[in-house]
Amino acid sequence: MELAETPWSEAPAEFELAENEAVIWRASLECEAAALRRLEATLSPDEKLRADRFIFSRDRDHFVAGRGILRALLGAYAGRHPSDLVFRYGPQGKPELHLDSGNSSLSFNLSHKEGLAVYVVGRGRSFGIDVESIAEQFPGEEIARRFFSKGELEELLALPPEARCEGFFLAWTRKEAYIKAEGQGLLIPLDSFDVSLTPGQPAKFLAGVPPEWQILSFRADHNHPAALVYGGNPLDAVRFFSWRLPLQSET
C-alpha cells in the first residue's frame, strides 16, 4: 500500500493505543536549547555516553533529541515518566522496551534522516520503519546494481530517467524497514527479497518475504519517503501525528 498524501494531524489530547492499530509520529530533531536540555535530562547514563561520542555538536544534538522524543512518546503510551523507561537490545541492536507484564506488549521502531525522525508505536507486533531523503545526485543506479535483486533493478531501469531517483529511495525505505522489522540487520542480504518501487504504485513485497509481513509506504514530507513494515494480519488503522513540545508526560 502507498499513501499518495500522508494525513498528518496534530498531537491528540489523549495518548491512546488500540490493540490492532499503529501510530506513526514525525518530529523535527532541531530543538531549541531549553527543549534539548529537558529531553537530555530524561536519557539514561549509557545514552548520554553515546551522545558524547559524537564529534559534531549537531549530530550529538540530533541523537539527544531523537532519544528524548522516543522516551517522551513511549512514556506517554506506557504511563511512565520518560526517564524511567529501560531499553533492551537484540543481537543486531534492535531496541525494545523492558516493561512489566501490564505494558509488555508495547512495541516500537524509529528512523531519522537529516534532522527529521519518524517513530511507530503499536502493540504485540514486530515493527520496522525507515525514512530517507531524496537526493538527485545520489548514485542510486550504481548502488541498485550492487545490492538490489535482479527484478528490482529491472523495474528501476524501466522507469523514465526522471523517476529513477524517487524509485530507488522508495525501494530503499521498504527494504530497510523489512530488515529492521525482522531484527536481523545485515544478516538478510538486500538482494534476497523483492519490493515494488514504481512511484505512484502500491507498495508490495514481490518475492522472498514470508506472507505474514505487511508493508505501508508513506511520506514524512514531500522530500522524505518512508515505509513501515510489520508482522501479522493487516492493522485495523494507522494514524499519523506530528510531534510538538510539550507532551503530556512532560507537563
Residues 19 and 205: their CA atoms lie apart, in Å, by 25
Using CA atoms, how far apart are residues 97 and 102, in angstroms rounded to an integer?
A: 12
The arrangement of strands across the sheet holding 224-231 comes to 127-131, 224-231, 213-221
| 24-35 tens-digit pLDDT | 999 999 999 999
pLDDT in tens, 220-250: 999 999 999 999 999 999 999 999 876 544 4
Res 45 pLDDT > 90: yes
Q: What is the pTM of this model?
A: 0.93
Q: Could you tell me the pLDDT band of residue 17, with boundaries at 50, 70 and 90?
A: very high
Q: How far is CA 1 from the centre of its chain?
A: 16
Main-chain phi, psi angles of 149, to 5 degrees = -70, 165
Rg (CA), the chain: 18
Q: What is the pLDDT of residues 121-165, one digit of tens each?
A: 999 999 999 999 999 889 999 999 999 999 999 999 999 999 999
Nearest Cα to 178, choosing from 141, 133, 227? 227
* Helix 140-147 with 164-182: angle, nearest 10 deg: 40
Backbone conformation region of residue 185, classed left if phi is above 0, alpha if psi is from -120 to 50, else beta: left
